[in-house]
Chains A and B, each alone.
Chain A
Amino acid sequence: MNTQTILKAFVDKAVISDEQAVLIADYEKNKSFSLHWELRSILYLGIVLFSSGIGVIIYENIDTIGHQVIIALIAALTGWCFFYTYKHALPYSNGQVKNPKKLADYILLLGCTTFLILEGYLQFQYNVFGTRYGLAVIIPTIIFFFCAYRFDHKGVLSMALTGLASWLGLTVAPLSVLAENDFTEDRLLATAVILGTVLCIAGWASEKQHIKKHFSFTYIFLGGNLAVLAAITGILSDNAELIYIIAGLALSAFFIQRARFAQSLLFLLMGIVYGYIIITYLIFSNIESDDASFTFGTFYFLFTSLGVVYFLLHFKKFLGIKK
C-alpha cells in the first residue's frame, strides 16, 4: 500500500480524476518532512530541564551569589517573558485564539514558571510574605488565571488551578491526588469534594456560556478527578456518609453525561470506572459473611464486567451519540 496504489484505486473507482492523481502524486513526491513536533518536544523538555537546573543552582548557591543579582536576573527574565507575550498578544475573544507567533505560548509558560521561582526566592530570602502563605499562593494564582484567559493558554490555566487548590491545602495534579493529599482529615476531604465540584461546574458553565469552551476539559478533568477520588476516599473510610455517596455517584453520572457531548471519551471511562468502584463497594460492604461474598463475588464480577463491556461496545447507541 503506497501512494501509487492508493491513487490508482481512487482513479479506478472514479473518486478523483487523472489530472488530480498526477497532482497528488507530485505533491507526495516533493512534500517536505515536518519537524514540528520534534522541535516542540525538544523545546518543552529544554524548558523543564533548564528551569529545574537553574532552580537547583540557585538553591545550592543561595548564600554565595549576590541575592540582588539573582533576583534582578530572574525578574528581568520574567519581565521580558510577560512583555513579549503582551506585545504579541491578540485581542481577547471568547473563542479560541490561535497566536501566529510560534513561540508565544512557550514564552508565557516560561514566564509563569520563572515568576513562581522568583516569588519562592523572595519568600525564602527576605520573607516577604512572612507567615501569610495563603497570600504567597493566591497572588500567582490570580495572575495565572488572568493570563490563561487573556492569552488563551490551557497550560497556564492548569497552573492556576493547581495554585487555587494548594491555597486550600490540596493538590489537583492528576497523578498525585491520592498520594499527596492528606485525606485523613475530614475538613480537607470535604474541601476537596466541594472544590472539585465547583471546578466541574465552572467547566460546564464555560461550555454553556461559550466563554473559552476549550478550557472546560481542563476544569472538569482536574476538578472531577479530585472530587471523585476524595468522595471515594470518604466512602471507604468508616464514616461513609450519604453525602459522599451521592456526590460520587452524581459526579460519575456527570462524567458519562459529559462524554455524550464527545468532548472526550476519557470522561466516559472515568465515569464508568469510578461509578463501578463505588457501587461495587456499597454492595459488598453490606454482605456480612465471607463465604457468601466470595461465591456472590465470582458471579457478580463476571456478569457486571460483561455488562460493562457490552455497554462500552454499544455506548453510542445507549448515549445517543451520532458520529
Chain B
Amino acid sequence: MKKAYNETWIDNLHILNTADHWSEKKLISQEQLESARNAFPQQFYRPGIFVKIGLFIFTLIACSFASGFVSLFLIGNGAGENISVISLICMAGFIFFLEFLIKKNGLYHSGVDNALLYAAMGAAVVPFVSLFDNLEVWQYCIIMFAFAFTATLRYADMVTATSAFLLLFGLLGNIMMKFPVGKAILPFAVMALSAVIYSLVRKDKSTYYERCTKLIEILSLATFYLGGNYLIVREGNALLNDLNLPFAPQIPFAPLFYVFTLSIPVVYIFFGLRKKDRILLILGLVAFALSVYTYRHYFSPFTPAQELAIAGMAMIMLSAALIKYLHTPKHGLSDEQEGKRKLANLEAILVAQHLGQTPVEGNNVEFGGGNFGGGGAGETY
C-alpha cells in the first residue's frame, strides 16, 4: 500500500522532536539544534490542536453541504440506487481533495485531511447499507473492516485504526454469539485476540505508523484486561443470556477470573516499570482502579462515601510518599519534571470547576460532591 504522506518528512519530524528533547536536556546546543533543523527539513502544516479542531469542524460542514449540493441534481425519487450514485460521486470528490490538499498544503493529520477521510469513509459505506440491507452483522463488519484497514494503511489515521480494531472485535463477538459454546468461551476469545493483536503491532517499528501502533497497543491491552475482568464477565454473562435477575448469578471458572482481575494490573504495572513502557504503566494503574471497583462492587463493608474518602486518602498518601521517596532517582525511576504540560491552563480551570463551587443556599448544600470528571489526568506521551 502506497503511503499518502511524505515519509521522509515524517522521519525528519521524529528526528527533530528527539533533537528538541535533547536540547531541553542540554545535551546538544542551540546551534546544533538549528543545524539539525536545516539538515532534516520538513514542510508539514501542523497548527495547534485548537486550530485543528476548527479546521475539522468547518471541513465537515463543507463536506455535508457539498454532498447536499450534489444531491440537488441527482436525488430524483430518492431510491437506493440514486443515493448510492450520489455517495460514490461524493466519495470520489472527497478523496480527490484529500490527496490534492495533502500534496499542495503539506497537511499531516491537520484536521482538514481527517475530516475529508472520514467523510469519504462514510460515503463509501452508504451504498452497501442502502443496496444490501439484509446482510448479517458480521458481513457488514467484514466490509467496513476492509475499508478501515485499507485507509489506516494508507493514511495512518488514528480513528480509522480504532474503528478497524473495534470492527474486528464486533466480528468476533457476532460469530461467537451464534453458538452456545461460543458464548461460554467469549472472554477467552477476546483475551486471545487482544494478545494476538498486541504482539502483531509490537512488531511494527516504523515511524509512519507510530501513533497508530501506540493506540492499538493501548486498546488491545485494555480489551485484554476487560476480557478477564470478573465484573465485566459476570454482568456481561447475565446480559447475554437474558437473565432478568436482580443481580447477576455466579459464573463458571470464577476463581480463574478472580486471578485475572487481580494479577493483570499488577503484571502491567510491573512490566511497565521494568521495561520503561509508559503505556503499560498507565493502563496498569487504570486497570488497578477498575479492579478495586470490581472488588468493592461485590464485597464491600463500606458506604460509597467512606470508600471515596479511603481511596482518596490512600492515593494522596501513596503519591506523596512516592514523590518523597523518588526525590533522588532510585531503581531507574525518578520524579523529574519532563517537559511542560501542554494544556496546563485548561487543567487548572477544570480542577477549579470541581472544587470551586461555593455553597450558597442554606438548606441543600452540596459539599463539592456529585460529579467526577478527569481531575487533571495529565498524560504526556
Contact = CB atoms under 8 A, between A and B. Distances in A.
Interface centre among A16, A49, A60, A140 (most CB of B within 10 A): A49
B139 interface: no
B39 A13 contact: yes
Contacts of A24: 22, 27-28
B306 interface: yes
B335 interface: yes
A242 interface: no
Contacts of B245: none
Contacts of B368: 51-52, 55, 113, 116-117
A116 B365 contact: no
A312 B59 CA distance: 11
A240 B360 CA distance: 32
Interface centre among B32, B49, B210, B365 (most CB of A within 10 A): B365
A32 B332 CA distance: 4
A120 B354 contact: no
A43 B276 contact: no
Nearest to B16: A6
B45 interface: yes
A313 B363 CA distance: 53
A313 B348 contact: no
B322 A133 contact: no
Q: Looking at chain A, what size class is its interface with the partner chain?
A: 35 or more
Nearest to B10: A1
A312 B312 contact: no
A292 interface: no
B135 interface: no
Contact of B367 (A6, A40, A56, A133): A56
A174 interface: yes
Given A39-B319, A50-B312, A298-B72, A137 B358 contact: yes
B376 interface: yes
B137 interface: no
B285 to A, nearest CB: 7
A32 B372 contact: no
B282 interface: yes
A127 B336 contact: no
B99 interface: no
Q: Looking at chain B, what size class is its interface with the partner chain?
A: 35 or more
Interface in B39-66: 39-40, 45, 47-51, 53-55, 57-59, 61-62, 65-66
A14 B305 CA distance: 62
B311 interface: yes
B154 interface: no
B296 interface: no
B359 interface: yes
Say what secondary structure dominates the interface of chain A.
helix
B30 interface: no
Interface stretch (A152-160, A182-190, A194-202, A227-235): A152-160
Contacts of B365: 59, 120, 123-124
Interface stretch (A81-89, A244-252, A265-273, A281-289): A265-273
Given A51-B312, A53-B310, A27 B27 contact: yes
A50 B309 contact: yes
B315 A9 contact: no
A29 B11 CA distance: 22
A15 interface: yes
B242 interface: no
A32 B331 CA distance: 8
B273 interface: yes
B309 A315 contact: no
A302 B305 contact: no
Given A9-B15, A136-B358, A49 B335 contact: no
Contact of A33 (B27, B61, B111, B276): B276
A33 B333 contact: yes
B316 A43 contact: yes
A41 B50 contact: no
Interface string A151-187: 0001111110111001000010111100000000000
A218 interface: yes
Given A33-B333, A33-B334, A42 B315 contact: yes
Nearest to B369: A52
B335 A39 contact: yes
B202 to A, nearest CB: 14
B355 A159 contact: yes
A312 B58 contact: yes
Contacts of B377: 41, 45
Interface in B362-381: 362-363, 365, 367-370, 372, 375-380
Nearest to B360: A133
A49 B311 contact: yes
Interface in A1-28: 1-3, 6, 9-10, 13-16, 20, 23-24, 27
Given A1-B210, A40-B376, 10 more contacts: A15-B32, A24-B28, A45-B377, A50-B308, A58-B367, A158-B349, A176-B353, A221-B346, A273-B57, A312-B47
7 contacts: A15-B36, A38-B282, A50-B315, A157-B352, A166-B358, A298-B68, A298-B72
